[in-house]
């Protein structure tokens, strides 16, 4: 059976990327709590909530996709008579389709949109860059399912710029190295999404 879509590696890297980014902002939260920089603390809380939601939501999507893929293959093999249930249970799960989940555009994105918008109004982001506009537009497009491929491209660009910014200071601080790893994983995530959308 020919299958096309997003592999388990996609979900593993995506989830690990969000785990790392969550950890980064947890570090920022603790550091700024010690310094009593409450504006940045509030911003860190928003980002933590946003990444935490996305981490949970992508984990749920992977679970739904795996269950659906397993069900489809069971139906196929029983219909064709080419495998027993025991053989199917040992089969390596290979790929899933993005369309298996009807609500792919998560609430965590709305929280991150709020963070980036407020960053231009309140002192909640010590690394505010004009490139954050790419995050606002990209997250909004993906969340609302409007020009979805363009939204993924904008978010890929945002994390590419994020990677470059942290690369400059990666020799100084461990947290910058973590940010590079996390942003690299999310760049992979959005690259795969772009590739998948262009293949439809």
Domain that holds residue 30: 8-199
Q: Which stretches within the chain are classed as H helix? A: 8-34, 38-80, 85-89, 107-119, 132-144, 148-167, 174-199
In a domain, 3, yes or no: no
Per-residue pLDDT of the chain (200 residues; tens, 9 = 90+): 233 456 889 899 999 999 999 999 999 999 999 988 899 999 999 999 999 999 998 888 888 777 766 566 555 555 555 544 444 444 444 444 444 444 455 789 999 999 999 998 888 987 767 788 999 999 999 988 889 899 999 999 999 999 998 998 887 889 999 999 999 999 999 999 999 888 87
The number of domains in the chain is 1
- Is residue 190 a contact partner of residue 156, using CB atoms and an 8 Å limit? yes
Q: Distance (Å, rounded) from C-alpha 8 to C-alpha 70? A: 13
In a domain, 45, yes or no: yes
In a domain, 144, yes or no: yes
């Amino acid at each position: 059976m020919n299958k096309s879509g997003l592999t388990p590696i996609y979900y593993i890297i995506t989830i690990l990327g969000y785990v790392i980014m969550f950890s980064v902002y947890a570090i920022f939260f603790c550091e700024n709590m010690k310094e009593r920089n409450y504006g940045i603390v509030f911003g860190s809380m928003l980002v933590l909530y946003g990444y935490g939601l996305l981490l949970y939501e992508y984990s749920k999507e992977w679970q739904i996709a795996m269950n659906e893929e397993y069900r489809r293959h069971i139906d196929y093999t029983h219909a064709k008579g080419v495998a027993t249930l025991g053989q199917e249970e040992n089969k390596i799960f290979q790929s899933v389709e993005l369309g298996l989940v009807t609500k792919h555009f998560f609430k965590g994105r709305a929280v991150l949109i709020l963070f980036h918008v407020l960053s231009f109004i309140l002192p909640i982001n010590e690394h505010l860059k004009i490139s954050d506009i790419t995050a606002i537009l990209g997250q909004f497009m993906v969340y609302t399912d409007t020009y979805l491929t363009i939204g993924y491209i904008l978010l890929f660009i945002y994390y590419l710029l994020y990677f470059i910014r942290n690369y400059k200071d990666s020799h100084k601080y461990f947290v910058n190295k973590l940010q590079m790893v996390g942003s690299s994983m999310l760049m992979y995530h959005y690259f795969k999404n772009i590739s998948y959308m262009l293949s439809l």
